Amino acid sequence: MPQIATPTLINDITNLGALGLFKLASKLYRSTYITGFNETMVSIGEYKKYSIDTGMVALDPLQREHYRADLAIDLSREHLFLARTPFSPTSSFDITVPIVAVIFAEGGRVDISCPDTLTDQASELLGQILRISTASTNSDTPNNWKLVELEGSHEFQMRVENAIEAISNTDLEKVVLSKALHISSANRPNQEAIFDRLVRDRPYSYLFSIENYLGASPELVVNLKGSSVTSHPLAGTAKSHNESTLLLSDKDNREHQIVVGQIMERLEALGISAQHQSKPTISKYGEIVHLGSRISGSLATGSPATSIEIAAHLAPTAAINGEPYETAIKYIYSNEPADRGFYGGLVGYQKKEGDGTWILNIRSIDLNDEGVMLRAGVGIVEKSDPVAEDLEATSKINAIASSILKC
């Protein structure tokens, strides 16, 4: 911990809490809030940026034609970096190294991280934030929200039917289809107010606010701490009152097994020995429940793998793409009416020497001047029902839309 982390500063930051610090910091600097695995990271300011033109394949050790070992090593030496990555593993994205990052861990521990050359600047920056007014800047102007469905139920159900036919006639086992909804507003949506509502409505999710993207994701793609690797994929969905039915559903269990099996295979390919729960359990997300399986593993002795390298090899998982990997992603590119952009990609951060957390960018909100864009995905397998899949996609969208419409 740098010298700026005096007992007084730590005490003041602890009293503010992660959300309080983020809200104050956002008034003055580009700031990011990400709930990690048993901790929350708040970054402040921008020290350095890496532009990754070739996409996440540049950080996947098994993509030998694209992998950049020099980049992975450089990133592991940074005090901390964060990123929002696109669904497509070959699309460009930026990695940001903040001036200072504050980690709020379990048990009330607070750690402060900054480059060795910026301790004075980081100290001044934190002091400035702690001195500014805590008065709310939320706008009282009504948004007059208007829901604009970009694809009707009939059109989406036809896409589901086509996907089921492809599964019957090709090697495709599962493919995830996404559906979109735009909620327009007479004025630019208030990002702080929407994020506040997400925090209140989804306190047990992986919350994030990074640039114009907000989210409350239920899914951990990977966490690396030391040599310990954890993943918690979700697949299979029902309304909360139907959780017992979900546990017994052949269709949902098949979908779930495909996701878990793919992650296990990809971890093994990286030399990571892993185990998963013998049976999936229920993961609750408000009015929606999912089948979830905790996967735990260990890096091989002496492995140099970092969290973003593991994430790059896993993403996009079968939870948001399908299986086989290449067949599913090509099907999505050819049949989805709009590019997914960052939806279905990753949001996360990595600390010095490689520990970090990467979560799936779902249940997310893409803000723009005209309103917000929401997306939801549903996993299609041989026994899928088009009407049920359409209702599932709508219920997932509504889970986030309900928070927006309260603002």
Which helix (H) or strand (E) element contains residue 110?
strand 110-113
Residue 224 confidence (pLDDT): 98
Residue 354 pLDDT more than 90? yes
The neighbour count for residue 388, using CB atoms within 10 Å, is: 15
pLDDT in tens, 202-225: 999 999 999 999 999 999 999 999
Tokens encoding 83: 């990123």
Residue 134's region, left for phi above 0, alpha for psi from -120 to 50, else beta, is: alpha
Confidence band, pLDDT 50/70/90 cuts, at residue 142:
low
User: 146-405, which class in CATH?
Assistant: alpha beta
- pLDDT score for 338: 87
User: Where are the CATH 3.60.120.10 domain residues in the chain?
Assistant: 146-405
- Output the DSSP codes for 185-241: -SS---HHHHHHHHHHH-TTSEEEEETTEEEEE--EEEEEETTEEEEE-EEEEEEGG
Question: How far is CA 170 from its chain centroid?
Answer: 30
In whole numbers, what is the pLDDT of the chain averaged over residues? 93
pLDDT higher than 90, residue 307: yes
Strand segments (E) across 273-393:
273-276, 281-285, 288-292, 295-298, 322-323, 346-351, 356-360, 364-368, 371-380
Q: What are phi and psi of 148, to 5 degrees?
A: -120, 105
What would the mean pLDDT of 115-136 be, rounded to a whole number?
85
| Percent of the chain surpassing pLDDT 90 | 86
| Single-letter amino acid code for the residue at 106 | E
User: Two tokens at 404?
Assistant: 């927006």
Tell me the average pLDDT across 114-141.
80
Residue 92's pLDDT is what?
98
Degrees to nearest 5, angle at CA 270 with 264 and 275: 30
| pLDDT at 14 > cutoff 60 | yes
pTM: 0.95
CA-to-CA distance for 388 and 238, rounded, in angstroms? 10
> Among 91-105, 132-146, 148-162, 185-199, which is the least confidently predicted range?
132-146
CA angle 231, 233, 239 (to 5 degrees): 145
